[in-house]
Amino acid sequence: MMMSPFLMISIIVLVGLIGIVSGAIWLRQYVRFAAKLHYDKGVAYLQTADYTRAEEEFSAALKRQSGMLEARYGLGCTYVQQQRYREGIAMLKEVVKARPQNGVAYYNLGMAYIAIGNLDDAQEVLKTALQFKPTMKEIHFNLSNVFLEKGDVKQASIYCENALKLDHDYVKAQELQKQLAEIRYVAPINLKLIRKALQDFDQNDAEFLIKL
């Protein structure tokens, strides 16, 4: 029995559509895979402080997949490490808007605000970070620094004590506590030292900040 021309054409069209759909699915999977490769390389470069290559890889990931939030976050962290604070802040603000419950992202944003001397926004953002990461000692410690810079020794002491409750051996908090105990006036924080601390951040001192 011969197949009717109509049926034959229908089968050809159906096979063609299946091929198109399969090709589109494969292409999407390939794009995601390629973006993930660039992202993983970016993380590796960020861990080794090779910020130029980290920026290249995160940017390449975003070219492959513009909606990849992890790559946007990595690029924001890279900008901060490069002292390109305003670019980093803009990128990190996009991340916390998309992930409003990510305490570590808020922490990084707060540190960037500290680096440019915007203490009011730093205070607000770090307090938000604390809502989601109440046991992250670095948040308490840096809030203590913010309040000290703003002249509120009482609040600075409270947050410093909180950091030490979480880690009795936290050397930075121990040193700050001694300073607060001896203080008779409020001396401004050296923002250059804070920027250096951002560059020299020890990832073993807390969870790795690139993770979302």
Residue closest to 176 by CA, chosen among 104, 167, 63: 167
Going from N- to C-terminal start, the domains of the chain cover 34-133, 135-201
Q: d(Cα 109, Cα 198) in Å, to the nearest integer?
A: 12
pLDDT exceeds cutoff 80 at 102:
yes
What radius of gyration do the chain's Cα atoms show? Answer: 24
Give the confidence band of 148 by pLDDT, cuts at 50, 70, 90: very high
CATH architecture of structural domain 34-133: Alpha Horseshoe (1.25)
pLDDT exceeds cutoff 50 at 157:
yes
Cα-to-chain-centroid distance, residue 76: 7
Q: d(Cα 37, Cα 119) in Å, to the nearest integer?
A: 37
Residue closest to 59 by CA, chosen among 80, 33, 81, 41: 41
Q: d(Cα 133, Cα 151) in Å, to the nearest integer?
A: 25
**pTM of the full structure:** 0.74
Query: Which class is 135-201 in CATH?
Result: mainly alpha
Mean pLDDT along residues 156-184: 92
What tens digit of pLDDT does each residue of 106-143 get?
Answer: 999 999 999 999 999 999 999 999 999 999 999 999 99
* Fold match, 34-133 / 135-201: yes
What tens digit of pLDDT does each residue of 51-60 get?
Answer: 999 999 999 9
DSSP tag of 80: H
